[in-house]
Structure 1
Amino acid sequence: MKRILILVLLIAVSFSCKEEFINLQPISDMNAGVFYKTEQDMNQAVMSPYASLRNVYNQLFIYMGEVRSDNTTFSWVPGDSKNMTSIDNFGDVMLSDNTFVLNFWNNVYNTILRCNIVLDKIDAVPFKDPKLKEQYKAEAKFVRALMYFWLVRVYGDVPKVDKQLSVSEAYAVGRTSTQEIYDFIVEDLKFAEANLPVSYATVDKGRVTVGGAKGLLAKVYMTMAGFPLKKGASHYALAEAKALEVISMPTYSLVPDYKALFDVKNENTAESLFEIQYKKGGTTTGSPWNNDFAPRFSNREVVLVGDKSGFNAPTPSISAAYETGDPRKTVSMSDNYVAVPGGNTVNEKYVRKYYDVSFAGSDNDNNWIELRLADVYLLYAEALVRQGKQSETALVYLNKIRQRARNSTGGSASILADYPPFTSSEAFLLAIEKERRVELAFENHRWFDLVRTERAKTVMSQEQKEQNGFNPASWSDNMLLFPIPLSVIQSNPDKIKQNPGY
């Protein structure tokens, strides 16, 4: 019974990953009598949160972000599930019993549970190297911070769970304020920043580094500066400083060719601060993106093996956002494909950025790049402009992104000219917003950019009017958050209340 209880609480890793640091014997296969006794046991325990990220970074997290934005849509048709259509169409009322909303919540909290198990158990385990113990704690705290960053942006106030809870303790936990959740995220990331290494040996490549912690902290500060907390100048300054620390690290540099950045043979590059690791081959560790993003009604023209789901289909507005000749568009998306048989052109847009030759359906090698240097460059430029200072430096980093694009495969010196100095901060910020949109397209940043900059109402009202006949007068800021899952409220109605508008 004790062994079963431990296995249930741990929900331990039962699969391997291409990076050898995850390719370890699952703790669930070990005898409970030697559970959490050695450094090696704890190393295996730390693998559990990493592995659980693959359950978070699936279709659901795309629904919670990119599909909610003006970048992508479902290839939905009449009769499709309201669970899907209400996420994409602001005029279609989203219900709190939406299964996608619930499943994402559960997947994220399951990952937090795994982090808390590591942190609850590790101090009782003797380590020869005290720094290694602190590193393992830092890895768990980074993943926990990343998960709470997702939760607070998607749902707003959420329960803060920082340890394993009994059933009675769980029922005593209500929603924690957005401010307190962000403070908790910052606390975890500062610990991670202080205790993570700069890099790892090849065998451990893929584990989070100090650069990953600094980069995520910069992004958290930028978000805190904007909506909903509106911390303003103080946090733009914090974001600026932290982004500059990343930029100044010799570990990181832009990959010279944008196309190479997304080649499955070039994962965990010098541009990458943190990636979710995947490995195809029938071991349940492959990524689903190749199949999920293929045109819904295609046959074998785009993807040879498995279903084609049409999730995350590019909108006309993102297609039009690329300047003429921008090679990033060819890497990132296509406006059509050629039908086989027949040879006719089918005008159905799809994401190409995550292409791979599938081992089987939804079994591909693509890692998910959660954070990369180009993102940090643009955050740094934005933080400077929002403080009204160093416009020349901000312009340099904005133009570095365009320079890389025009020097990439398919580019030329005649495209994507450097931006000249801007005459207003408003114009400068819109240029940064546009560059973030096309540079980071389909990487799940757009919706959260629109929310934190308070541009969601303007941009999405117009997009929804064009795509779905949405009446802009019907806009409500309640749409900026998803509902708390109904079953969560029903399980603890005295402590958990619903978001406004649901």
Structure 2
Amino acid sequence: MQSMRNILFIGMTASLALGACKSVLDVNPQGNYSTGNYWRNQSDAVDGVTGIYNVLLEEDYTGFNEFVFDNCSDDQVRGGDHDYDAAIEDFSYDPSTYSVRVGWRWKYETINRANNVLIYVPKITNIDAAIKNRCLGEAHFFRAFSYWRLLLIYGEAPIITEDDVLKANYNKPKVTADELRAQIESDLNAAADLLPESYGDADKGRVSKGTAYGLLCKLYMEWNKLDQAIVAGNKVITNSNYALATNYGDNFKVATGNNSEMLLAVQTVDGAGYSDFITYHAPRNWNGWSFFYPTKGLVDEFEAGDPRKDICIMKPGDKVNIGTGIATYEASASWSGYHYAKFCSWKPSGGLDYSLKTPLMRSADIYLLVAEAKIRLHGAGAGDAEINAVRSRASKALKPVVNGTMANLMHERRVELCGENERHQDLIRWDKAGLINIADIYAKPKLAYDGTEISRGGKGRKFSKPKNYYFPIPQQEIDRSKGTLKQNPNF
């Protein structure tokens, strides 16, 4: 069986040719394959599915741009030289803002590739039954994942399925958020039925039943279906195949990134098939581009003695192994005086190590969502077991939570998942549930390490409800649809 590492190279050269759409979903084909001559055997099926994974490497998708949306939060401030990222941070974006529009294409390209798998793989006879099921499960999952990201960012979007592809029916109106949720739910249930629970070393990094159930838990939390979130989440946190890594830091190391806890990560390979995620996070003077800076509010959230602070955050005076030696981090490296250490790794020979995986979903996230659902349904203390599982993994010295409240849960999610593109969506979910007032939080300035307002992106912002729960549909997609797509309210 081909390893994930090997088939990444195949996918880079062949997978872009698998689409057949004549619509706003198009990507210019490359290579010599088409849907008419490609789907012949098991190797084609496996490589075709790998083409779906490869979309995650795109800079305008999970390689960078999806993480720009968490600049809205109070945890980080934008860096770099993209003026249009400022519009995301201060809620002044419009339907033409670059960061709003570029990811749309890659979400639908993923959907396109997944639809092709779902259409053509069932027709292949020269294939092992287990591999066929796995390929179909992977396609269902990634179609769901793409619609999930569309849901979180835009609220409403068109649904394109196999039937639409066969009928060349691509110019469709958007559906409601609930219709989008129902499609995601359906795909995730199909994925969970088809995918294996775990993989051997050669296939580490592929999505599993636990990945599908984890995203289903996240969907139900966003949908406010708390009972169902607990059911889906328990299928992850009670299964040893998805156990928390022994050490928190194992999730952010090249050698141990694909551990049992990592439900979904971008499978980067140094030298080929890599993402610039790490480049965007590392300091400029150490080979990076410095686009994401943690705030003092996030850093101060860590309790004394919590080892996650040093794993996650570079602070003034820290000694950092940059491969060729030990360097001292200085506050001048960042507008806030901090960087995310958890997303940085250097090779002994020098330069960034692009084999560091980009975490997109971990079991710890699901533990804490189950805890949240239990607290919201049954009151203080109901989520203690799940919160303490995450805390004790971080350090046995951390005091266990007793009769934990939503405040305890919010704290734990903030420090455990910092920088992993969860904070803004957490705050939106809690605001919609009446647990916080997100407008009050965002009205406060973002502070640098010394307590001063960060010079760029630090001013308090006005969050307008319900307008800023979602972003506008990209104007270029509305134009291409000749009016079939309608703009979101308030834009």
Q: What range is the shorter-chain TM-score in?
A: 0.7 to 0.9
Shift in Å, 1:71:
1.0
Matching of residue 176 in structure 1 with residue 175 in structure 2: yes
Equivalent position of 2:228 in the other structure: 238
Deviation string, structure 1 residues 70-107 (Cα, Å, up to 9, x no partner): 1111136xxx55411111123xx212111121111111
Are residues 318 and 286 of structure 1, via their aligned partners in 2, closer, same or farther at CA, if it must alter by over 3 Å?
same
Equivalent position of 1:113 in the other structure: 112
Give the Cα–Cα distance (whole angstroms) in 2 for the partners of residues 102 and 258 of structure 1: 35
Matching of residue 63 in structure 1 with residue 68 in structure 2: yes
Equivalent position of 1:293 in the other structure: 281
Matching of residue 266 in structure 1 with residue 267 in structure 2: no
Shift in Å, 1:444:
0.8
Give the Cα–Cα distance (whole angstroms) in 1 for the partners of residues 442 and 482 of structure 2: 33
Give the Cα–Cα distance (whole angstroms) in 1 for the partners of residues 184 and 173 of structure 2: 18
1:275 counterpart SS class: strand
Give the Cα–Cα distance (whole angstroms) in 2 for the partners of residues 168 and 42 of structure 1: 22
1:200 counterpart SS class: coil
173-182 vs 108-117, greater mean Cα deviation: 108-117
Give the Cα–Cα distance (whole angstroms) in 1 for the partners of residues 103 and 301 of structure 2: 30
The answer to whether the Cα contact below 8 Å between 2:331 and 2:337 also exists between their aligned partners in 1 is: no
Give the Cα–Cα distance (whole angstroms) in 2 for the partners of residues 47 and 344 of structure 1: 41
TM-score by length of 1: 0.82
Give the Cα–Cα distance (whole angstroms) in 1 for the partners of residues 217 and 337 of structure 2: 37
Give the Cα–Cα distance (whole angstroms) in 1 for the partners of residues 403 and 119 of structure 2: 53
Give the Cα–Cα distance (whole angstroms) in 2 for the partners of residues 341 and 245 of structure 1: 44
Are residues 405 and 81 of structure 1, via their aligned partners in 2, closer, same or farther at CA, if it must alter by over 3 Å?
closer
Shift in Å, 1:341:
11
The answer to whether the Cα contact below 8 Å between 1:395 and 1:421 also exists between their aligned partners in 2 is: yes
Give the Cα–Cα distance (whole angstroms) in 2 for the partners of residues 279 and 431 of structure 1: 37
Deviation string, structure 1 residues 112-159 (Cα, Å, up to 9, x no partner): 111111112223222454443232111101011011100011011101
1:73 counterpart SS class: strand
Matches within 5 A, 1:454-473: 454=431, 455=436, 456-463=438-445, 468-470=458-460, 472=462
Q: Choose from 334, 346, 362 the match for 2:314.
A: 334
2:222 counterpart SS class: helix
Give the Cα–Cα distance (whole angstroms) in 1 for the partners of residues 382 and 5 of structure 2: 37
Q: Name the amino acid aligned to 2:52.
A: P
2:174 counterpart SS class: coil
Equivalent position of 1:484 in the other structure: 473
Q: Choose from 279, 290, 295 the match for 1:315.
A: 295
Give the Cα–Cα distance (whole angstroms) in 1 for the partners of residues 168 and 274 of structure 2: 37
Equivalent position of 2:8 in the other structure: 22
Equivalent position of 2:46 in the other structure: 43
The answer to whether the Cα contact below 8 Å between 1:19 and 1:206 also exists between their aligned partners in 2 is: no
Deviation string, structure 1 residues 239-290 (Cα, Å, up to 9, x no partner): 1111112112121222222122211110211212222210011x2x223233
261-270 vs 449-458, greater mean Cα deviation: 449-458
Equivalent position of 1:494 in the other structure: 483
Are residues 169 and 151 of structure 1, via their aligned partners in 2, closer, same or farther at CA, if it must alter by over 3 Å?
same
Are residues 341 and 157 of structure 1, via their aligned partners in 2, closer, same or farther at CA, if it must alter by over 3 Å?
closer
Give the Cα–Cα distance (whole angstroms) in 1 for the partners of residues 267 and 33 of structure 2: 28
Equivalent position of 1:394 in the other structure: 383
Give the Cα–Cα distance (whole angstroms) in 2 for the partners of residues 442 and 38 of structure 1: 41
Give the Cα–Cα distance (whole angstroms) in 1 for the partners of residues 308 and 42 of structure 2: 45
Equivalent position of 1:9 in the other structure: none
Give the Cα–Cα distance (whole angstroms) in 1 for the partners of residues 48 and 138 of structure 2: 11
The answer to whether the Cα contact below 8 Å between 2:4 and 2:202 also exists between their aligned partners in 1 is: no
Q: Name the amino acid aligned to 1:448.
A: Q
Equivalent position of 1:444 in the other structure: 421
Equivalent position of 1:13 in the other structure: none
Give the Cα–Cα distance (whole angstroms) in 2 for the partners of residues 329 and 162 of structure 1: 44
Deviation string, structure 1 residues 194-239 (Cα, Å, up to 9, x no partner): 11111122222211111111111111111111xxxxxxxxx21111
Q: Name the amino acid aligned to 1:327.
A: P
The answer to whether the Cα contact below 8 Å between 2:295 and 2:338 also exists between their aligned partners in 1 is: yes
Matching of residue 355 in structure 1 with residue 344 in structure 2: yes
Aligned length: 447
1:19 counterpart SS class: helix
Give the Cα–Cα distance (whole angstroms) in 1 for the partners of residues 482 and 446 of structure 2: 34
TM-score by length of 2: 0.84
The answer to whether the Cα contact below 8 Å between 1:272 and 1:372 also exists between their aligned partners in 2 is: yes
Q: Name the amino acid aligned to 1:447.
A: H
Equivalent position of 2:212 in the other structure: 213
Q: Choose from 243, 246, 265 the match for 1:275.
A: 265
Equivalent position of 1:8 in the other structure: none
Matching of residue 366 in structure 1 with residue 324 in structure 2: no
Equivalent position of 2:399 in the other structure: 417
Equivalent position of 1:88 in the other structure: 89
Show structure 2 runs of 5+ residues with no match.
18-30, 320-325, 448-452
Q: Name the amino acid aligned to 1:85.
A: A
Q: Choose from 69, 77, 80 the match for 1:73.
A: 77
Give the Cα–Cα distance (whole angstroms) in 2 for the partners of residues 341 and 38 of structure 1: 52
1:105 counterpart SS class: helix
Shift in Å, 1:420:
2.4
Give the Cα–Cα distance (whole angstroms) in 2 for the partners of residues 206 and 110 of structure 1: 21
Shift in Å, 1:460:
2.0
2:132 counterpart SS class: helix
Equivalent position of 1:231 in the other structure: none
Q: Choose from 320, 325, 328 the match for 2:305.
A: 325
Over the aligned positions, Cα root-mean-square deviation in angstroms equals 2.8
Equivalent position of 1:147 in the other structure: 146
The answer to whether the Cα contact below 8 Å between 2:316 and 2:329 also exists between their aligned partners in 1 is: no
Give the Cα–Cα distance (whole angstroms) in 1 for the partners of residues 193 and 471 of structure 2: 34
The answer to whether the Cα contact below 8 Å between 1:288 and 1:362 also exists between their aligned partners in 2 is: no
30-39 vs 488-497, greater mean Cα deviation: 30-39
Give the Cα–Cα distance (whole angstroms) in 1 for the partners of residues 245 and 392 of structure 2: 12
Give the Cα–Cα distance (whole angstroms) in 2 for the partners of residues 343 and 277 of structure 1: 28
The answer to whether the Cα contact below 8 Å between 1:174 and 1:495 also exists between their aligned partners in 2 is: yes
Shift in Å, 1:162:
1.2
Show structure 1 runs of 5+ residues with no match.
1-15, 226-234, 408-412, 423-427
Shift in Å, 1:362:
7.1
Give the Cα–Cα distance (whole angstroms) in 2 for the partners of residues 196 and 69 of structure 1: 34
